[in-house]
Structure formats: C-alpha cells, structure tokens
Chains A and B, each alone.
Chain A
Amino acid sequence: MFDFIKYKYVSISFSAILIAVGFGVTFGKYGGFATSLDFDGGLRAVVEFPENVERKNLEEYFSAKNLEAVLVLMDKDKNDYQIDIGLGSVDQIKQLYIERKGKDSVEAKQASAIDALIGLLQEDFKLEKKKILSANQVGSVVGAELTSTGISLLGLTLFFIMIYLSFRFQFKFALGAILALIHDLVITIAFIGFFQIKPSVPIIAALLTLLGYSINDTIVVFDRIRENAGNLRDTFSKVINLSINQTLSRTFNTSVATLISVVAIIIGGAVELYDFAYVLTFGIILGTFSSVFIAAPLVDIYDTLSQRWKRS
C-alpha cells in the first residue's frame, strides 16, 4: 500500500510548479495565449483571385510573409477565397505595408490593418478593387459567447456541485472536489498556453469533457472514503489512504480505457481533432492525478486544520 497522504505536499508542490511553469512560459515567452479568430477576432477578407492562383500559391505567399492565414475556398468556379488572419499577425501586416509604401507616405500613415491587407493583396496579385468581395475586422464569435456565459456558468456549476456534495457527503468533500476541479482547469489552461494551442470550439469541448471526467473521478474516490470512514476506527488520514489504494485499480483501468478512445483520435489521423485530443489526453492524465494526489489530500489537510481550530 502506497502512502499517498505522506507525500501530499510533494504532489501539491508538483502541481504548483506545473502551474507556475505553464503560465510562466505562456506569458514570459509567448506574451499570452495563442490568438485565434474564433476568440480574439481578426481580419477577414473574401477575395476573388485570378484563375491561375491556387491554394498552394496563396499558402506560400502568406508563409513567405510570415503571416498566419487560414484559407477557405468558398466558390470553386469563381476562385473565391476567404482569408482569415488572426490578431497576432495584424502588426506584421501593417509593418509590411509601411515598408512597401515608405514610412512617410500618406497611405501608410492612415492605413488601418484591413487597408494594409487589401493594399498588399491588390498589388501582389494585380487585383481590381471589385475582386475584393469583402474585407473587415471581425469580432470574436466563440470568445464573446463564452466570456459572457462562461464564467457565470463555471461559478454556478461549482456552486451546485458543492451543494449536492455537501448534502450527499460533507462540506469538506465538497470543498476538496471543487478545489481539485479548479486545479485541473487551471493546469489544463496553463498547458494550452505552454504549447500555444489555439483556443477554438473543440478546445472548449475538451475543457468541458475534462470537467465532467474530473468530477466523476474524484467522486469515486470520495465515495470510498465516506464508506470506509463509517466502518473503520483508524485516523482519517489512514482511511483516505486506504480508500485511494482500494480504488486504485479502478482509477487506473478507467483512465486507460478513456485514454485509449482519445488517443485513437490521434492515431486515426483526424488532423482537425488533434488539438482537441491533445488537451483531452493531458486532461485525463491530470484528472486521474488530481483525484488521487490532490483532491483527497486536500480533504485531509482541511480536516487536520479544522481539527486543530476546534482544539484551540
């Protein structure tokens, strides 16, 4: 039997380091999270290119200019492309335009990012003005939807879970579960920043899945603790430790089974789901880790502290 409780501070410190490193790299090295059109908005232009311009040409064009652009072919017959450029590349576009026009030219001084993009495309592909079908700065779609509801949603969810767990278990379990949940979310978000994964709808889905998985995992362990606490005359710490050990093979088997189905997405080559699968793989490992090393030990710490308060 492994003594999880004995090493609780080691595991909590480990988590703390993960969080520090994750956010440190995110903000220190990259200056924040990766930008995406879904979340931060950006530039969007719909352009009708001459027939001889193919997707490959366009991709080469943008990568040569060091611009991150997402291309969608809208109309095959007309060779219409939708070009999405994230906020991250906006400065670069302006810079290029200023270089082209000369620093002191009126055009360069007054140009907005979208003007700069149109200017560059028009010159480089010799386009007439009317071939630029639309061009505008777009707002964030998912980002706006989520920031408005996301935080209140998370708060309410945690609140209701807390009520349910306090009712079914005890307050200290509810607290442990909620903290473990926040722990998982924070580290996963740090992970997303660390690897500069672009926030998108699938990433949100992955975070939500993780939330569900993590709660589930933690409760199974807690349930065992509750059961054992009634039967045994041991100290609470020992009960926790015993319960973790008893549920260990279940925790392991479930994690492996769930991981298999997620890893299959990566093996199966669903490129568009890669980010989703990475976040989920990491999240499941983390969720498993937290239910064993974080949630229950936190309950133990809270229990010890409250005992001490009662005595003093």
Chain B
Amino acid sequence: MKSVQWIFVPILVVASSLTLLYPNFAERELELAVRKEFKELPEETRKEVLSNFAERWKTDYNPKSDWQIEPDPNIFPDQDYYLVKGRFITSAKINQLSQENQELILEPKNKLRPTWVEEYIFGGRPLAIRLGLDLQGGMRVVLKGDFDDYTSKLKDSYTKEIEELTRKKSDASLSEKERKEAQDKLKEIESYFELTPSRKLAELEKAKLIIDNRLTNQNLTEPQVRIQKDQDSIEVSLPGVSNSSQILDIIRNTETVEYRLREPSDSNANSRGTYHDAIELEEMKLMNEGRKEETEIVKFQNIVKQKLGKDEQDKFLAAMEKKYNIPEKYKLYVKWSRANNPKASLLPREFVVLERAISLDGKDMRNARESYDQNRLSYYVSFSLTSQGAEKFFDITSKNVGRQLAIVWGDKVISDPVIRSPIAGGNAQIDGEFGQKEATDLANVISEGALPIPLNVLEMRFIGPTLGIESIEVGLKAVLLGFALVIVFMLVIYRLSGFVADIALLVNVIVLMALLSLMGFTLTLPGFAGIILTVGMAVDANVIIYERIKEELASGKHVSAAVAQGFDNAFWTIMDSNVTTLISGILMIKLGNGPIKGFAITLCWGIITSLFTSLFLSRMIMDLLVNKFGVRKLRIGFKKLESKNV
C-alpha cells in the first residue's frame, strides 16, 4: 500500500492551515495611539476625557473583561499608546473605540500588531478572516454616481471651444480643410459627452480608488468599497462606524484644488483689478454710510452662517456677476480667511475676480504634506508637481510676474500670493491661514485627487455594532455546539470509522477556513450557512462510504477488500452529488451578488475541501487502519457486522 508514503500530504496541509488560521485565534496586541495634542488640553478636560474612556472601557468596550489594557485607562500612558491584549479584536471594536474617543485616540496611528505568521511569512499582510457587517455591525452606504450632473459640468467646461468650433465650421473665409478639421474636432468633443457603460464603469473605478484612499487616510480598519455595475453605484461598508455624517462627507467630497490668475490690474498701484475695484468702491460707500448690513460681503456671510447651502451661494455670486457686468472671461470668487485672531473661524472676507481658465489643476500636483510654520503660527501645505505641471507652473509664473495667482480649494479662494519671480523646480507650497485639520484636508485633496463624479446617497443602513458582536458570539457557539454533536453522533453510529470521519470533518473545516482566510474572504451570515452545508455534505460523503463498506461486509467480504470496494462504489455517487452542487455554486458566484455570492463561495470551496477529505484523507486513514494496523473488525451501526473470513 502506498498510503504510508502519502501520509505527509494531509499532515502538511493541516499544519499549514493551522498556521494560516493562527492570527484568528491567537491573542492579539492592539496599539491604540494617543493624540500628542491631548497633553496640551486643560487639566480638567483631560481628566474628564480619561474618566469617560475608563468608564466606557469597563461598561461598553470590555464588559466581560477578557481584554487587558495597559496602562489603566484612567492614566495617560508613558509611551504614546495604550496596549490592548486579547482575542477576537474586531475591526468594528477598533473603530468604535477610536471614533468614540476622538479627543484621546488618534485613528491614523492605531495599529494591530501583526502576529509572527503575518510578520514573517506574509510580510505584514493581515490574515485574519474578515467579518461582514451583519456579523460585526457598522454602516453600509450605497452611493449612486450622478452622471447627469457630470455631463452637464463637462459640457460647461467645453462651452468656449464648442462656440469657437461651430463658428469655424461655417466660416466661409476658412479653407475647406480647416473647416473639416473644426467639424471633426467638434464631433470628437461631442463624443466626450456620450457615456457608454464602459466609460461609466471607468469613472466609477476612479471614484472607487479615491474613496479607498480617503478611507485609508481615516484609518478605518477594513472599510470595503465595491462597485455595483448594474446600478451605477458604489457600495461602501464600514465596520463599527457610528459617526456617519462625518465619514459620509469625507467620501462624497468633490472638492478640487486649482490655481487661477487674478484679473489683471491697471497701472494704478492700489488697484487689484477693474471689477474688484468697482465692487470695493461700492462696499466702502455703504460702510461709510453706516449701512454695513447691506454690504454684499455681509450678506454673503449671512448665507454661510445660516447654512443655506452651496446653491444659494452660487445664486448670490451669479447675481453679483450680473450686477457688476463681469465678462464671461472672469468669474467671481470669495476669499475666505480668519479675522486677526488665529482661532477665529474661517469666513468669507473679500470678493475676488479670477480668470475662468484654470492655470494649474489638481492633476498636476501630488505628494502633498501639511507642516507647521513656527514663525507664522499656522500650518501650510507643501507639494510637488508632476514634470508637466512643473513646466506649466514655470511658464505661468514667468509670464505673469507681479500678478496674483489664487489658489481655489473647492469654491473658496484660500490664498492669492503675488508672483515675485518665476518658480522653477517641482516643488511649491500653499500658505493660508490653516488650522491643522484644514491643512490635512487640503493635503488629502491634493494627494488623492478629486472625485470624478458627484455621488448621491441611495441607501444608508446601520447595523448596531453591539448587537452584531453578541450575535456572532452566540452564533459561533451554536455552530460549535452543532459541530460537537455531529462528532458525537458519528462516533456513536460508526465507532472507529466514525472517528475517522470526525478527523476528516475537522480537517475539512480547518482547511476551508484557512483557504477563506488566505483569500481575504469576508465572512457573513450566508457564508456561515455555506459552512454548515459543507459540514453536512462532508458527513454525507463519509456516511455513503461507510454504508457501502457495511454492505460489502454483510455480503461476507474481507475487511480490506470491503473497505477498498466501499470507497470505489461510493466514489461516483459522491462525485455526482458534489459536482451538481458545485454547478449551482459556480452559477451563484457568477450571477449572484451580495448574500448569494458569499454563500456560494464558501459552498464551492467547501465542496472542494470535502472531496479532498472524504475521498483522499478518509481512504488513506482507513487503508492504514486495515492494512497496517491490522484492524480486522469494523463495527458499523448497531448490528455487529464483522468480516467472517479473517
């Protein structure tokens, strides 16, 4: 018999599976990073924050006290983190901890220390099986791409060119060739506005990438972003998140950063442009008459203060553009800044007229970082330019020395320095009156780029995190209980053979879980169902085999022959039944989505592993028992069925 030589295969498989699964059941260490700024808070506030944290730690975060935290949550740690030790630290829990203690814990620095398996074998890649939102709680948002808005904005940006080309097309003074060129160009531009499904998908892919990056910067553990092709939408799953609106704002933010030149000023030294001066004159007049409330800037501030929304602001600016006859070439913006006090809030302070043409946009910038300027007591953002961007920047700055170059973030002018000399080299910085958060946000917008399409919330759903964690614990216990009962049942009915089946069953589940964990699979409730079915099918395969062996024994065959014959007879039965189930599983993976897919993936892998354990592993062990260890009596069932020709 060859079985002896092959014994290393299952041993190797089980050993590597257990290694893979180690991060799931081992005790883990989590570093909860503490904010540096926390130390600078007034003593009173600090005490309050800490005692809140300690209180919640005892009651909510760790009611069963199976996790250890060092030092005591009442004390500020010496090193810059709290160390949490325990099993089954879920991402939902990590997110909950850091989001509910924002003053104390700095999300981006939290770190689940890798286990040795992850560290040495997988180079730090996390291996633990992820749990779906239905199991650990959190938030699910479906965002629909607003392609109508997208095309209308796109059309706006080509208005000038289209006008020009349409004129050229029917301009009799131009040569045939030039007119033809204009016509072709026009057609090409029009084709930009037609959104084919594949182009929509490409835009969604871009959006997905940016959302991914933004969420990573929030350092949410295990956020998941996936595209729902058939609905032109993006689904975002965030375990354990409860501060929904903030995260949602971050995801949906369509802000851009761009450079625009200010309208040229005339020779007058104090002038900052014709239209700017006109507006300023009018404002001054009102101020001098003591009618401050009637000035445009105060009116605009009121719109902002009352949070009437961007539409109202746009309407207001459009009306002003009309009032002051600002030509199409320019666009009216508002400069936002702080009053003298650096702690004051950012408010619109001044109207600025900029060129409509964009000098440099976000695509030309990259690698932005915020830094603190000691002298000015504020933050600034430095970034580098792409080679193309650097060229453009040099070109603009050398042609426009003395003019102001404004930086527009979203719809706000945040800074408008005068160009002193041409700027070469690939680096630049933006000084504004930034707080830390603003500087970080701006740096993120530059680094990640803007969202290509506006997104609307189609569906938002919360799954209570504590509820989820309870249900997974109970669910897990129930599954383990069921598993134990099945094992006992098999032992009672099939005795020694039952023991072999139990080994096969255990190996089956271990290998299956290891595979899922290797694939980075997210386990959900339907996934659980798939595992239960797998257990059922694995048991079934063994039962079929033993019943066959029983029949062979009953017909008077020798044990060794009965075992061999039993396996052979059962082979195609098991194959057929598994292949049919596999067919339905594969179709479910291909066509189904969400819950169906999760179920089908576990099912399909489960079928493969159970084929391995029942047809290969069980057979090998039975072979060894009968042919190596000389087992001559197999008691299957309650009737004594022993081979008679021993």
Contacts and interface: CB of A to CB of B under 8 A. Distances in A.
Interface of A: 72-77, 82, 134, 138-139, 141-142, 145-146, 148-149, 152-153, 156-157, 160-161, 164-165, 168, 177, 201-202, 204-206, 208-209, 211-213, 215-217, 219-220, 223-224, 227, 246-247, 249-250, 253-254, 256-258, 260-265, 267-273, 276, 280
Contacts of B603: 208, 212
B536 A261 contact: yes
A263 B467 CA distance: 22
A224 B599 CA distance: 29
B478 A264 contact: yes
Contacts of A205: 525-526, 528-530, 595, 599
Given A75-B243, A142-B595, A160 B587 contact: yes
Interface string B431-460: 000000000000000000000000000011
Q: Tell me the interface secondary structure of chain B in the complex.
A: helix
Contact of B242 (A74, A168, A268): A74
Contacts of A168: 576
A215 B580 contact: yes
Contacts of B486: 257, 260-261
B581 A148 contact: no
Interface in B569-589: 569, 572-573, 576-581, 583-585, 587-588
B547 interface: yes
16 contacts: A73-B464, A142-B595, A149-B596, A152-B591, A205-B525, A213-B533, A216-B581, A219-B576, A220-B544, A220-B577, A253-B547, A260-B482, A261-B485, A261-B536, A264-B482, A273-B471
Contact of B637 (A134, A139, A247, A249): A249
B540 to A, nearest CB: 4
B477 interface: yes
A156 B591 CA distance: 10
Nearest to A268: B478
Nearest to A37: B461
B645 to A, nearest CB: 23
Interface in B171-227: none
Contacts of A73: 464
B158 interface: no
Contact of B544 (A160, A201, A250, A270): A250
A212 B582 CA distance: 9
Contacts of B463: 72
A155 to B, nearest CB: 10
Contacts of A258: 535-536, 539-540
Interface residues of B, number: 69
A272 B595 CA distance: 16
B388 interface: no
Closest 3 CB pairs of A and B: A268-B478, A264-B482, A261-B482
A254 B539 contact: yes
B481 interface: yes
A250 B525 CA distance: 29
A39 to B, nearest CB: 12
A229 B275 CA distance: 97
Given A223-B572, A254-B543, A165 B580 contact: yes
A270 B577 contact: no
Contact of A204 (B244, B471, B595): B595
Contacts of A227: 569
A74 to B, nearest CB: 5
B100 interface: yes
B489 A256 contact: yes
A142 to B, nearest CB: 7
Contacts of A202: 525-526, 529
Contact of B485 (A215, A260, A280): A260
